[in-house]
Amino acid sequence: MLQPGDKAPDFDLPTDTGRVSLSGLKGKNIVLYFYPKDDTAGCTSEALQFSSEVEEFQKLGAVIVGVSKDSVASHAKFRAKHDLTIELAADPLGDVVEAYGAWVEKSMYGRKYMGVDRSTFLIDREGVIREVWRKVKVPGHIKAVMNAAKAIK
């Protein structure tokens, strides 16, 4: 399980605007967040809140990248439908989701299944994880991430 102080696992994923990678973002703080599914209530709320604060994060030298197992085409529709201003990366095989420990066993109505844990990682300019949030509840989360990003500016 990744903890603050650990080196962030490398990633290189497709987006609807190109590709995004850890090495390509070196020199910037990164808010890397994992979410279960495009265009669902909680995921839409989280994406909209991050999008509304993207300029504030940019002032802190931070970029926001959302990752799910959805396709690039799904991300493009999701971004267009909600006018999202954040980068959404596709990880259909789940390699990055697993590398960050966001692929977990879940339970609904007594049925167990595997799914993406809503989680966020704040990675500094050197590629070191500074903060980790797991089992994220959307209300208040973006403010907590913003405060942590301010602390490492």
Query: What are residue 88's DSSP bridge partners?
Result: 66
pLDDT attached to residue 1? 87
Kindly list the domain boundaries of the chain, sorted by start residue. Answer: 6-151
pLDDT attached to residue 153? 62
Domain 6-151 has CATH 3.40.30.10: yes
Which of 13, 31, 43, 88 is the catalytic position?
Answer: 43
pLDDT attached to residue 107? 86
- The CA distances from residue 92 to 28, 141, 145, in Å, are 25, 25, 26
**Under-70 pLDDT residues of the chain:** 153
Return the ∠ at Cα 53 (arms to 51 and 54), rounded to 5°: 65
104 is an active site residue: no
Scanning the chain, the segments in alpha helix (DSSP H) are 41-52, 54-59, 72-82, 95-99, 141-151
pLDDT attached to residue 142? 94
